[in-house]
Structure 1
Amino acid sequence: MEIDFSIGNVSAKLVRGWFFGGMKLVTPSESIWLQHPLQPSTHFSFRLKRCWQRRISGHLVRIEKTRPLLAAGVRPQSYSVFVDGELVANDHGL
């Protein structure tokens, strides 16, 4: 799954691999792991909502992932992207 958005005037995208669960924030100048496939917390978590915050090009970027309670690994999850507190993109999928 990929979600394209802008951080100021910099293009960015949130990329998530459905098979291993890795998730990255990618800009033209850098690639930041939010969930690395080799970290146990990527696969085993009891939280229904997770948030990540990073400062990119002077802007605060927050990614929120909300998962369902039952069988979360095989059901669609919701993703929201905020830049400086404003919702710029959201999607629902694996």
Structure 2
Amino acid sequence: MQFSIDIGDEQKSAIEFKRNWFSGRTTVIIEGKEQTLKDPYAISTHVDLEFTKRWEFLVQNPMLPKVVIEQIRPFWFGGLRPHQYNVYVDDSLVLEKCGY
């Protein structure tokens, strides 16, 4: 799964989210700075009992204080079925995606 969004009215900030379906590596790039959210070498990437992951970020742009990316995996065979991805900016939903 890969998606990117531009947020903000006057000063745009770019957010790019990437998840490798095979390895589980998950990264986010905010204003050119990459952060690893899930590392394929960590056991918690592959074995996890939580169905919802939430990551919160503070964008350097003062007009956009909080961005939340939420990943929801299905209950049955979660690794083999598409996941739901939601992006919130200031607690309002701005993007919904479904995929691997």
TM-score of the aligned structures, taking structure 2 as reference length:
0.85
Quick check: 1:64–1:80 contact (8 Å CA) kept in 2? yes
- Calculate percent identity across the aligned residue pairs: 30
Computed over aligned residues only, the root mean square deviation of the Cα atoms, in angstroms, reads: 1.3
CA deviation digits over 1:35-79, x for unaligned, max 9? Answer: 121121111111111111111224211111111111111111101
Quick check: 1:82–1:89 contact (8 Å CA) kept in 2? yes
How far is the alpha carbon of 1:28 from its aligned partner? 3.7
Which AA in structure 1 matches 2:16?
K
Where is the strand percentage greater, Structure 1 or Structure 2?
1
Uncovered stretches (5+) of structure 1, i.e. residues with no partner: none
How far is the alpha carbon of 1:27 from its aligned partner? 2.7
Quick check: 1:80–1:89 contact (8 Å CA) kept in 2? yes
Q: Distance in 1 between matches of 2:17 and 2:55?
A: 12
Moved segments of 4+, more than 4 Å:
none
Name the residue aligned to 1:41. 44
- Which structure's CA Rg is the greater one? 2
Aligned length: 94
- After superposition, residues 57-76 of structure 1 pair within 5 angstroms as 57=60, 58=62, 59-76=65-82
